[in-house]
Chains A and B, each alone.
Chain A
Amino acid sequence: MIATQENTMKDTDIKRLLYTHLLCICSIILSIFIPSFFLENFSILETHLTWLCICSVSVTAVNLVLYLVVKPNASSKRSSLSFKVTRFVKCCVYFLMSCFTFHVIFVLYGAPLIELVLETFLFAVTLSTFTTVPCLCLLGPNIKAWLRVFSRNGVTSVWENSLQITTISSFVGAWLGAFPIPLDWERPWQVWPISCTLGATFGYVAGLFISPLWIYWNRKQLTYKNN
């Protein structure tokens, strides 16, 4: 009896997951097409930085809205306003820190130190949007929870599982995106950091697609400890 209840819960969760993910994908696709109605000469490759800003803002917004609407981990206790504010400030600080950390990592990976700082930083912001923002929405500024989710056997819900998949696939996408840079095809998208941002975006979208399907296929095997 309890098992079936759990299963139905999981099924509804997966359905909600799928819808939210589809919304996220829509926001990314719209960020490609909508701005061209308002801005002249807008294209992903030529005005890449603008697109990066728009894309990260829209993804962040959609994530926040979805979080507020869906409330995957509805906490039972109602908290005070001051707690919420500190929580929000903390989230912002975490987001900024993750941007800077990514920036440092990119530079260590070989991104130019002085030239193209803005490009590198916006790439860091985009990657943070794809990875840190969902984490912050879902888990809050709680490092222990993050560590738990990203270690083996640490996931406790469908949401966390999908979070893990999208985050990893964004990283893998960004990592693979660096591969075409040394090729001598002389394409406009081979310029730093375009191929990496595109790779990260593709990875994120792929993660969004794959995670509900993957969780659905493996729903029998998946057991979450605390649910």
Chain B
Amino acid sequence: MRLGSGTFAACCVVVEVLGVVLFLRGFFPAPVRSSSSSKHQAEPPAPEPSAGASSNWTKLPPPLFSKVVIVLIDALRDDFVFGSKGVKFMPYTTYLVEKGASHSFVAEAKPPTVTMPRIKALMTGSVPGFIDVVMNLNSPALLEDNVITQAKAAGKRIISYGDETWVKLFPKHFVEYDGTTSFFVSDYTEVDENVTRHLDKVLKRGDWDVLILHYLGLDHIGHVSGPSSPLIGRKLSEMDGVLMKIHTALLSEERETLLPSLLVLCGDHGMSETGGHGASSTEEVSTPLLLVSSAFERKPGDIRYPKHVQQTDLAATLAIGLGLPIPKNSVGHLLFPAIEGKPMREQLRFLHLNTVQLTKLLQENVPSFEKEPGFEQFKISERLHGNWIRLYLEENNSEVLFNLGTKVRRQYLDALKTLSLSLSRQVAQYDVYSMVVGTVVVLEVLTLLLLSIPQALSSKAELEVPLLSPVFSLLFYLTFLVLSAVHVIVCTSTESSCYLCSLSWLTAGGVMVLVSALLCAVVSALTKVLVRGKLLSKNAAHSNSRWSELDLLILLGTLGHVLSLGASSFIEEEHQTWYFLVSTLCLALCHDIYRNYLPGDDCEPQRCLHVEGGFDGATPALQDKNTSSAVLELNRGCKSPSSLGTLRGYEKWMVLASPWVILTCCRLLRSLNQTGVQWAHRPDLGHWLTSSDHKAALSVLAALSLAVIFALIQRRCSPASKVAMALGLLGVYCYRAAIGNVLFPWQQDNKDISKGILEARFVYVFVLGILFTGTKDLLKSQVVAAGFTVKTVGLWELYSGFVLLAALLLRPHNLPVLVLSLLIQTLMAKFVWKPLRHDVAEVTVMHYWFGQAFFYFQGNSNNIATVDISAGFVGLDTYVEIPAIFLTAFATYTGPVLWASHLVSFLSSEASSSADGSTHSQ
């Protein structure tokens, strides 16, 4: 069957996406869930175990605390409280930690260390999957069993102030709330003022049971200026004051009630050395957890060091403390110090409740739960507990009771730890089978694509796809049989859950058919290539199709990059790989240029030195030792011998200088945004520009960048879109001025900051206009066959529309990235690719490399914390899901998208000029 290359590529992409989805389904573990999670309150609480004699305690134990205040400080790292910063800036809290009636812990947060999954973990006790990161911005109501819902059901009155994520997660749960948004990251006083201003009133009123305060200011400071900023200290002192106020109010109120109250200070996640969060470094996962209550009174000299616990442990503790059933999906275990002061019978009762809940979860998630050590320990301790109850009811000797009780308690604690551990491990288990199948599909499609590249890129742009042959080939049926057998064996023998096995037999069979058909296609394509290769080598032993050094570099670089992803450090520092490759590419281009352009002319020494430099630097790229012996033809030289002579003086100088200009641009961009992990904390130009002292410099830079963008982009636009472009870029500046990033020269003082909705929408109108004209031209060229010029103009307009959108979405200090990307594209197109006549494949790979490098130049990294979510709100009043996702994705991938669209437009213009040339020559 013959297919157009476009259709073929589209099919490949579809299958590829399928494979990737399958892989991801296996890679991201399905969260541990209780099957009966939908119906709350269905089962009665587990009764106290008893051996023989019936126990009279079947109801839930009463609450331990009358009031609970949860103070959650976003991005509170453990050393902010327990470290030197805490001693310096939080004297009251330090006093509580060291001498007061409190228990302190270092709670480890599981990645992703982003606010919403962390809140879920704190309140449900379960470990949210990575998929929750995507939902972080738009948090739908939490349906899982959690402490808040339980408390609401038990008639507790809950009040929440702070991050509006709470209000979204628990709609209609709070009798009173005031949500602050983390929308304006640069605001770190107002958000917290909005929480604290309610405090006096609420603390005096006292008609509530649970008070939740979520302070966002610290996180905002972290994002803007990092953990070593002086602002942190001020914020911590402010938080210390808040804690003191709450604690004294609680203490004064306690005198009137019987039960003590509980004050919980915790952080949702930590803060990395750069001030971000999201990943799993120690700084990001360690958060302090402080439980303060007069019930935890200690004798003088009782030194309690912060113990390491899991963040999920808080849910169970809170549930017990409030006299609620433990959330069903909680994998955490009770923080034992919190109930230490209670009588033995209550302690054991609480521990029993927790173990029963964990065992139930284990039973539902692990098929072979009976073999789990935690389950056995649970059985033993339950039996011991029953014996103890019997002794207790028989009013036995108190010493014997106490000793036996301690033994049971230890047994329970061990069981809890083991259960919790094995449940957490369950969460981190990969579905290897689905991952392997997904990988196989992806690899097969890739091989097929690679093998058919020469055919697809040939002038006919068509290729023979061996679709029918596999159906009749023996290989296909054999593979299919083998795969089915493997599938059956894997699915029947596996212990853990597996996505592919849970699919219906028909779907799984379809996947197997796909895999084997692809295998056959790959094999037949491979044989074809081999046969053709043999023929070619027979016919033309020394054709000029030997690879040049540039081709070799491109191939080795791309392969090397793929291989480098095997090491985690290279993934963390992937930008270094791309910068390195791009620099090497520039030097190789330089080498190429000088080899072609210099021998012909009498160069003066000044120039020659550059040659030497360019050559010396480029040689590492050669890598093959056979340069010395090789009888390679200078294929560029013979392909374009005339191009050297025909160039005019100025152009020749530009050609010779352009690799160096590009290298310098890349070096500048490199110091604009430090990214990655190891060197991310280094000072960079971006931080310098964004600090409020350098607003004037930033304004000048932004204005200059916008002007240069216009100058570079307008030369091939139609007059109408030229005007639209100019107005749009003006609008971008106005937008940035309106939201307070940059200044107008006539407006020196900071006047009121708006969201800039009007300005941003003004720009959107022009973006859509330009994109519309571009699409119209493209359609025209398709329908009327108006020739290549219309198509080229249309593609260029699409490209310029993207540039305008990028100018709007990129932060002002990142505008130079856009400018230099346009500059490099112009230089490359005019002075490198055209005169040196690189072929389509080379140009494509170079575009890919530069696109990747620009992704990192923008300040992105493989860490999800570097995604700039503020781009999703440009010109939007409230959070609207689809535009926000689109805008954020576009802003993140600006570099690759711009380079890809430039590639399309460049190739089309090349095709049109070559078509013109051929018609002229005829």
B502 to A: closest C-beta gap in Å = 38
Known: A165-B625, A172-B623, A175-B620. A147 touches B611 (CB 8 A): yes
A153, B570: Cβ atoms closer than 8 Å? no
| Segment touching B, from A33-41, A59-67, A214-222 | A214-222
Q: Interface code B577-615, partner A: CB below 8 Å = 1, 0 otherwise?
A: 101100110010000000100110001010011111101
Q: Which residue of A102, A110, A165, A178 is within 8 Å of B670 (Cβ)?
A: A110
Known: A109-B583, A184-B569. A222 touches B629 (CB 8 A): yes
A105, B628: Cβ atoms closer than 8 Å? no
B583, A104: Cβ atoms closer than 8 Å? no
A102, B616: Cβ atoms closer than 8 Å? yes
A102 to B615 Cα, complex, angstroms? 11
A189 to B258 Cα, complex, angstroms? 65
A108, B667: Cβ atoms closer than 8 Å? yes
A114 to B: closest C-beta gap in Å = 11
A98 to B613 Cα, complex, angstroms? 7
Q: Which chain A residue has the least Cβ–Cβ distance from B567?
A: A183
A131, B616: Cβ atoms closer than 8 Å? yes
B629, A221: Cβ atoms closer than 8 Å? yes
A214, B625: Cβ atoms closer than 8 Å? yes
Q: Interface code A141-155, partner B: CB below 8 Å = 1, 0 otherwise?
A: 001001100111101
Q: Which chain A residue has the least Cβ–Cβ distance from B571?
A: A182
Q: Which chain B residue has the least Cβ–Cβ distance from A168?
A: B619
B599, A147: Cβ atoms closer than 8 Å? yes
B664, A108: Cβ atoms closer than 8 Å? yes
Q: Interface code B14-30, partner A: CB below 8 Å = 1, 0 otherwise?
A: 00000000000000000
Q: Which residue of A105, A152, A168, A183 is within 8 Å of B613 (Cβ)?
A: A105
A218 to B613 Cα, complex, angstroms? 30
A109, B580: Cβ atoms closer than 8 Å? yes
A105, B617: Cβ atoms closer than 8 Å? yes
Known: A161-B628, A164-B628. A110 touches B583 (CB 8 A): yes
B638 within 8 A of A: no
Which residues from chain A contact B537 at a C-beta distance below 8 Å?
A: none
A152, B612: Cβ atoms closer than 8 Å? no
A98, B612: Cβ atoms closer than 8 Å? yes
Q: Which residue of A107, A161, A164, A221 is within 8 Å of B667 (Cβ)?
A: A107
B663 within 8 A of A: yes
Which residues from chain B contact A153 at a C-beta distance below 8 Å?
A: 631
Q: Interface code A90-103, partner B: CB below 8 Å = 1, 0 otherwise?
A: 00000001100110
A110, B579: Cβ atoms closer than 8 Å? yes
A123 within 8 A of B: no
Q: How many A-B residue pairs have CB under 8 A?
A: 103
B634 within 8 A of A: yes
- Majority secondary structure of chain A interface residues (helix, strand, loop or mixed): helix
- Majority secondary structure of chain B interface residues (helix, strand, loop or mixed): helix
A154 to B: closest C-beta gap in Å = 9
A188 to B: closest C-beta gap in Å = 15
A155 to B671 Cα, complex, angstroms? 41
Known: A108-B667, A165-B628, A222-B629. A171 touches B613 (CB 8 A): no
Which residues from chain A contact B599 at a C-beta distance below 8 Å?
A: 147, 151
Which residues from chain A contact B667 at a C-beta distance below 8 Å?
A: 107-108, 110
B196 within 8 A of A: no
B107 to A: closest C-beta gap in Å = 26
Q: Which chain B residue has the least Cβ–Cβ distance from A184?
A: B569
Q: Which of B217-240 contact A (CB under 8 A)?
A: none
A18 within 8 A of B: no
A174 within 8 A of B: yes
A141 to B: closest C-beta gap in Å = 9
Q: Which chain B residue has the least Cβ–Cβ distance from A182?
A: B573
Which residues from chain A contact B622 at a C-beta distance below 8 Å?
A: 168, 172
A97 to B606 Cα, complex, angstroms? 10
B368 to A: closest C-beta gap in Å = 37
Which of B605, B619, B671 has the largest count of A CB atoms less than 10 A from its CB? Answer: B619
Interface size, chain B (Cβ < 8 Å): 48
B570, A183: Cβ atoms closer than 8 Å? yes
Q: Interface code B535-575, partner A: CB below 8 Å = 1, 0 otherwise?
A: 00000000000000000000000000000000111101100
Which residues from chain B contact A150 at a C-beta distance below 8 Å?
A: 615, 619
B155 to A: closest C-beta gap in Å = 53
B536 to A: closest C-beta gap in Å = 23
B576 within 8 A of A: yes
B189 within 8 A of A: no
B360 to A: closest C-beta gap in Å = 41
Which residues from chain B contact A104 at a C-beta distance below 8 Å?
A: 613
Known: A147-B611, A214-B625. A110 touches B580 (CB 8 A): yes
A167 within 8 A of B: yes
B911 within 8 A of A: no
B573, A98: Cβ atoms closer than 8 Å? no
Q: Which chain B residue has the least Cβ–Cβ distance from A113?
A: B671
Q: Which residue of B573, B610, B621 is within 8 Å of A175 (Cβ)?
A: B621
Which residues from chain B contact A105 at a C-beta distance below 8 Å?
A: 587, 613, 616-617
A146 to B610 Cα, complex, angstroms? 13
A218 to B630 Cα, complex, angstroms? 12
A223 to B: closest C-beta gap in Å = 10
A108 to B90 Cα, complex, angstroms? 46
A144 to B: closest C-beta gap in Å = 9
B632, A101: Cβ atoms closer than 8 Å? no
B473 within 8 A of A: no
Which residues from chain B contact A143 at a C-beta distance below 8 Å?
A: 603, 605, 608-609, 611-612
Q: Which chain B residue has the least Cβ–Cβ distance from A210?
A: B625
A97 to B: closest C-beta gap in Å = 5
Which residues from chain A contact B584 at a C-beta distance below 8 Å?
A: 175
Known: A105-B617, A143-B612, A172-B620. A218 touches B629 (CB 8 A): yes
A214 to B583 Cα, complex, angstroms? 31
A97 to B616 Cα, complex, angstroms? 13
A165 to B629 Cα, complex, angstroms? 10
Q: Which chain A residue has the least Cβ–Cβ distance from B615?
A: A150
B569, A183: Cβ atoms closer than 8 Å? yes
A205 to B: closest C-beta gap in Å = 15
B494 within 8 A of A: no
Which residues from chain A contact B619 at a C-beta distance below 8 Å?
A: 150, 167-168, 171-172
A107 to B617 Cα, complex, angstroms? 12
Which residues from chain A contact B692 at a C-beta distance below 8 Å?
A: none
Q: Which of A109-159 contact B (CB under 8 A)?
A: 109-110, 113, 131, 143, 146-147, 150-153, 155
B627 within 8 A of A: yes
A135 to B316 Cα, complex, angstroms? 75
Which residues from chain B contact A171 at a C-beta distance below 8 Å?
A: 616-617, 619-620
B620, A174: Cβ atoms closer than 8 Å? yes
B678 within 8 A of A: yes
Which residues from chain A contact B573 at a C-beta distance below 8 Å?
A: 182
Which residues from chain B contact A174 at a C-beta distance below 8 Å?
A: 620
A168 to B567 Cα, complex, angstroms? 28
Which residues from chain A contact B625 at a C-beta distance below 8 Å?
A: 165, 168-169, 210, 214
20 A–B pairs (Cβ distance < 8 Å), ordered by A: A98-B612, A101-B612, A102-B616, A105-B587, A105-B617, A107-B667, A108-B583, A110-B576, A110-B670, A147-B611, A150-B615, A152-B634, A165-B628, A167-B616, A168-B625, A168-B627, A171-B619, A171-B620, A172-B619, A175-B584
Closest 9 CB pairs of A and B: A175-B620, A182-B573, A101-B613, A171-B620, A143-B608, A183-B569, A108-B663, A184-B569, A171-B619
- Knowing that A110-B580, A110-B670, A152-B627 are A-B contacts, what are 19 other residue pairs whose CB atoms are under 8 Å apart, sorted by A's residue number? A101-B612, A102-B616, A108-B583, A108-B663, A109-B580, A110-B576, A143-B605, A146-B612, A147-B611, A151-B595, A153-B631, A171-B616, A171-B617, A172-B620, A175-B584, A175-B620, A175-B621, A182-B569, A183-B569
